[in-house]
Amino acid sequence: MKKIKIHLDTRFRAGKKRSGLQQMEIFFQFNELDVSKELLSNLMNYTVKRNSWIHEDPAVIFQFHQSMRSLIRAGYLMMLKERKRTVDIQPEKISPWVLGLLSEKEYRNPVLVFKTAFREYTLKEFDYFLSGIVYFSMGVYKNLPERNIVMPYIHTVKMLDAAHLIIQRRKERKTADTHSGQ
């Protein structure tokens, strides 16, 4: 039986392979969290509308699709390579405004978001979801997507939040290390 290898790099980025954390950092260098969540939401809205299509530039949609694909693969890499780490967040009560869609447990350890998502869906299914919402949002079609697209959407939004939280905490740690070293 032949072993199937999943390629974790995007097809459009040349150069050396990057870790999941590096891919997440690159994603947030080019995409803001709130803009990404809004575009993802717009894609979902236009996917389920029957007689309309998104009025965004197709190049922007394509770039977003590829970036999201890369971010999801980065989360998959992080999930695979995650070691038992101590969580820096204190056990105090966290404001619901800070949590967003994340539970307190996921807020304390954002890698759990990726573990949960990939326990329910494969990389291929997330690719299918992303391709489907792009396809159905860019034209008028009689048929709607044949699968449930709400749960992959929720997981994708949570992955965006978790990845942003991971990058934000890493920057805070670097800043704290820099200030304590002086």
> Token pair 């575009």 is at which residue?
39
Residue 62 lies in a domain: yes
Residue 51 lies in a domain: yes
Count of the separate structural domains present in the chain = 1
The reported pLDDT for the residue numbered 97 is 58
The reported pLDDT for the residue numbered 36 is 96
Residue 147 is given by DSSP the state S
Residue 44 lies in a domain: yes
The reported pLDDT for the residue numbered 39 is 96
Residue 163 lies in a domain: yes
What residues make up the domain containing 147?
20-80+102-176
* pLDDT tens for each residue of 69-110: 999 999 999 988 876 454 455 556 666 656 778 888 999 999
Residue 96 lies in a domain: no
**Sequence-distant (≥ 6) Cβ neighbours of residue 60 within 8 angstroms:** 39
Q: Closest Cα partner for 75 from 112, 28, 36, 35?
A: 112
d(CA 155, CA 43): 15
Predicted confidence (pLDDT) at residue 3 exceeds the cutoff of 70: no
Residue 121 lies in a domain: yes
The reported pLDDT for the residue numbered 6 is 57
* pLDDT tens for each residue of 131-166: 999 998 888 777 767 778 899 999 999 999 999 999
The reported pLDDT for the residue numbered 7 is 55
Quick count: other Cβ atoms within 10 Å of Cβ 131?
12
d(CA 18, CA 25): 10
With cut-offs at 50, 70 and 90, classify the pLDDT of residue 176.
Answer: confident
Residue 1 lies in a domain: no
